[in-house]
């Protein structure tokens, strides 16, 4: 049981996290063992993501003054929150973990100022990361440049095969 001072500190900490995180994802964890939760936390920590089990009633108080206040209805039952700067990475980790552990259920979240439902979180998990998107663009540009160069080379080879003697004979025909 928390005393008043602890509750005040908890509300202050959670308000700051909700306000400063670019992505907040909410999940239910009922049925997960401590070993599974620790495994999930360590995977999240590797990417700078904070995964925190919440106290719903007090967390709702922390939500009231933040951009995440619309998530308040998600805080029922055994709830955990992932706070991160990159919604795609946190959604991927949670989605992959949920596939392997049926007891973890993604229920929603917020990315920037956009509220996400369960399907929205899944869609975010399927997006390419910024590095993957950059690699795809470079690949497309590189492939296009290679095709253009090969077209120019092919045209120049045809032009060079038309020597002055060959072009005169072709003109006479």
* Model confidence band, residue 155 (pLDDT cutoffs 50, 70, 90): low
One domain for residues 47 and 25: yes
Residue with tokens 């929603």: 108
How big is the chain by its Cα radius of gyration, in Å?
28
Residue 136's pLDDT is 78
One domain for residues 95 and 157: no
Residues 6+ apart with CB under 8 A from 17: 24, 50, 52, 81, 83
The overall pTM is greater than 0.85? no
**Segments forming the whole domain that contains residue 104:** 4-125
Q: Rounded to a whole number, what is the distance in angstroms from the first to the last CA of the chain?
A: 101
Task: Compute the mean pLDDT over every residue in the chain, rounded to the nearest whole number.
Answer: 84
Residue 104 sits in a domain whose CATH number is: 3.30.70.1730
Write down which residue in 87, 107, 125 finishes a domain: 125
One domain for residues 19 and 101: yes
One domain for residues 75 and 62: yes
Instruction: For residue 59, count CB atoms less than 10 angstroms from its CB and return exposed for 0-12, middle for 13-18, buried for 19 or more.
Output: buried
One domain for residues 101 and 137: no
Please state, in angstroms and rounded to a whole number, the distance separating the CA atoms of residues 103 and 168. Answer: 81
Residue 164's pLDDT is 55
Q: Of the candidates 77, 24, 72, 33, which has an alpha carbon nearest to the alpha carbon of residue 52? A: 24
* Out of 84-88, 155-159, 161-165, least confident range: 161-165
- What's the rounded mean pLDDT across residues 59-75? 89
Is it the case that residue 22 has pLDDT exceeding 60?
Answer: yes
One domain for residues 39 and 60: yes
One domain for residues 64 and 141: no
**Predicted confidence (pLDDT) per residue in 128-151, tens digit:** 777 777 887 887 777 766 777 777
One domain for residues 88 and 45: yes
One domain for residues 101 and 140: no
One domain for residues 110 and 135: no
Please state, in angstroms and rounded to a whole number, the distance separating the CA atoms of residues 28 and 104. Answer: 6
Is it the case that residue 157 has pLDDT exceeding 80?
Answer: no
One domain for residues 84 and 167: no
Quick one: CA dihedral 69, 107, 87, 111, positive or negative?
Answer: negative
Is it the case that residue 127 has pLDDT exceeding 60?
Answer: yes
């Amino acid at each position: 049981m928390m005393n008043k001072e602890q509750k005040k500190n908890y509300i202050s900490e959670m308000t700051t996290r909700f306000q400063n995180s670019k992505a907040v994802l909410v999940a239910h964890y009922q049925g997960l063992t401590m070993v599974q939760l620790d495994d999930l936390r360590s995977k999240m920590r590797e990417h700078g993501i904070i995964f925190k089990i919440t106290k719903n009633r007090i967390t709702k108080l922390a939500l009231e003054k933040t951009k995440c206040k619309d998530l308040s209805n998600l805080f029922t039952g055994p709830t955990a929150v992932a706070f991160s700067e990159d919604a795609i990475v946190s959604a991927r980790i949670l989605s992959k973990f949920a596939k392997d552990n049926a007891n973890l259920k993604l229920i929603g979240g917020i990315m920037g100022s956009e509220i996400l439902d369960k399907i929205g979180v899944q869609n975010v998990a399927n997006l390419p990361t910024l590095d993957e998107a950059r690699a795809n663009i470079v690949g497309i540009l590189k492939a296009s440049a290679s095709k253009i160069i090969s077209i120019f080379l092919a045209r120049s080879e045809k032009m060079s095969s038309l020597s002055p003697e060959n072009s005169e004979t072709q003109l006479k025909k």
